[in-house]
Structure 1
Amino acid sequence: MSAWSLSTLLASLHDDIQLRLGIARKALQHPGVKGDASEGVWLDMLETYLPKRYQAAKAFVVDSLGNFSEQIDVVVFDRQYSPFIFKFDEQIIVPAESVYAVFEAKQTATAGLVAYAQQKVASVRKLHRTSLPIPYAGGTYPAKPLIPILGGLLTFESDWSPALGSSFDKALKVDMHDGRLDIGCVASHGHYFHDVSDNTFKFVQENKPATAFLFRLIAQLQFSGTVPMIDIDAYGKWLTQS
């Protein structure tokens, strides 16, 4: 009989995330360093456990009209079908068409942070995205509809009491459009998600929130399908700009 335990393995995934976030909170005093450490924990988890068709990075997002988003802590984007990515030193820029999800990652959830995250997410969703018809041996498929870009918030703690209560819900409902934060995790308490069936936010308190959040994110990404066929020529025109 195997000595492996699936429940133990899944619990260990969360315990590792919570421990590393806790160390960043307690041991690192400089706010910028602490923030970078928190982002790194979430990025490492997503890079390790998301299917390889996805990549996660801190990045800017650009569209074919030359518009840029604000810098996003965690961008989940396509690496299989997205034909290019720009990287210079630590600065990464990805095309808007390749983006599946964007997250703000910080130590503690507050009303101010929720509003800030909504602004960041909106700066991505407002970008122009192309979608070309897809040729195949028997003809051409119509251009694929644009997939919704998921937005979210990732923290270790919450300033509210209870951590996942009415105050959090009220903050999330301030922007239910371009800045909507569809899914997120407070690693010490639980995770939340936007339920499209009744247009409300559901809060789930469990023992292993990071693992539960990861599974829910993967499930939602599965329903997103594949990113549209990008119009490379729309980006290529910028080669002639001085």
Structure 2
Amino acid sequence: MAEWSLSQLLGSLHSEIQGRLAIARASFAHPGTKGDATEGVWLELLQNHLPERYQATKAHVVDSNGNFSHQMDVVVFDRQYSPFIFRFNDEVIVPAESVYAVFEAKQSADAAMVKYAQEKVASVRALHRTSLPIPHAGGVYPAKALMPILGGLLTLESGWTPALGDSFEKALLADTGAGRFDVGCVAAHGHFFLDKTSGSYSFVNENKPATAFLLPCSSSAERCR
């Protein structure tokens, strides 16, 4: 009987994700259809592999003052303590307090797209958020400190050469405030993350970037609890 290999399992998962993103790019001429297919690949990856208390969906985010974010391609949110979610057909509205991370999903990254995605991330972080005590069977949990909302970018490719390098970092550093990206994945090349201490980005080029991105993303959501 063949031996199990974690490396092979993760490699197969990455190959599946990269292949499906490539199929979405090659199969659909209409930009909207291609975009929906691309978002669906990333959403399914997160829905299948994040811890069960988290969900991922395309959504708007709303705050208690009635302000709405842009529509986000991927919103990772808590369902255990966030019972209010409005759904109508394919439209989903998520309360700001439940959001852990938001991502923009595209086929390829360039400077204009990075700027656009940063503006969308900023629209979520600009929302008002509250924190209240949580009643439970044994008493009441005190109000929690507001968790940071992670922002990121998910693409198949990058328009720069090299794909992950100085030009990409320059675009990312154009907004280090409300629109900043904390983590992201370019499935054909690697993943990146923001070093909060140095304020610079680290780019990791490896042969399984989709799964390399997924595992720290899952642990980051856990650390935000």
Deviations 1:36-77 (A, max 9, x none): 110000000000111111100000000010000010000000
Q: CA deviation at 1:197?
A: 2.1
> 197-206 or 149-158, which moves further after superposition?
197-206
2:163 is the counterpart of 1:163: yes
Deviation at 1:220, TM superposition (A): 1.3
Q: Are residue 114 (structure 1) and residue 137 (structure 2) matched?
A: no
Q: Whole-Å Cα distance in 2 between the matches of residues 36 and 138 of structure 1?
A: 44
Distance 1:61 1:3, change over 3 A: same
The residue that corresponds to 2:66 in the other structure is 66
Change over 3 Å in CA distance of 1:138–1:192 after alignment to 2 = same
Q: What residue identity is the alignment partner of 2:150?
A: L
1:83 positional shift: 1.5
Question: What residue number does 1:197 align with?
Answer: 197
TM-score, normalization by structure 2: 0.96
TM-aligned CA distance change 1:30 to 1:139, over 3 Å: closer
> Residue in 1 aligned with 2:7?
7
Question: Match of 1:106, SS?
Answer: strand
Rate the CA distance shift 1:34–1:7 in 2: closer, same or farther, 3 A.
Answer: same
Map of 1:78 onto structure 2: 78
Question: What CA distance in whole angstroms lies between the structure 2 residues aligned with 1:92 and 1:139?
Answer: 32
Which position in structure 1 is the counterpart of 2:38?
38
Asked which structure has the greater CA Rg, the reply is 1
Q: Deviations over 1:90-120 (max 9, x none)?
A: 0000100000000000000100111011000
1:221 positional shift? 1.3
Aligned residue number for residue 233 of structure 1:
none
Match of 1:154 in 2: 154
User: C-alpha separation between the residues in 2 aligned to 1:69 and 1:21?
Assistant: 26
Measure the CA separation in 2 of the matches of 1:135 and 1:55.
Answer: 23
Question: What is the correspondence of 1:98-109 to structure 2 with a 5 Å cutoff?
Answer: 98-109=98-109
**1:188 pairs with 2:196:** no
Distance 1:29 1:81, change over 3 A: same
Relative to 1, partners in 2 of residues 1:142 and 1:80: Cα closer, same or farther, differing over 3 Å?
closer
User: 1:36 is paired with a residue of what secondary structure?
Assistant: helix
Query: RMSD across aligned C-alpha pairs, in angstroms?
Result: 1.5
For the residues of structure 1 that align with 2:182 and 2:197, how far apart are their CA atoms? 13
For residues 32 and 194 of structure 1, the distance between their equivalents in structure 2, rounded to whole angstroms, comes to 30
TM-score of the two chains, using structure 1 as the length reference: 0.89
Q: What is the alpha-carbon distance in structure 2 between the residues aligned to residue 222 and residue 140 of structure 1?
A: 21
Instruction: Calculate percent identity across the aligned residue pairs.
Output: 67
Matched with 1:223 is: 223
Separation of aligned partners in 2, 1:92 and 1:136: 28
Matches of 1:53 and 1:138 in 2, distance apart? 21
Letter in 1 for 2:129: R
Structure 1 residues 46 and 141, CA gap change in structure 2 (3 angstroms): closer
Structure 1 gaps, min length 5: 226-242
| Deviation of the 1:133 alpha carbon | 2.9
The alignment of Structure 1 onto Structure 2 pairs a total of residues equal to 225
| 1:206 is the counterpart of 2:176 | no
Counterpart of 1:173? 173
Runs of 4+ in 1 over 6 A off after TM superposition: 136-139
- Alpha-carbon separation, structure 2, partners of 1:84 and 1:118: 27
**What are the Cα deviations for residues 174-211 of structure 1, in whole angstroms up to 9, with x where unaligned?**
11010001100000000000111222111000000000
- Cα distance, 1:147 vs. partner? 0.3
Q: Give the deviation of 1:219 after TM superposition.
A: 1.9
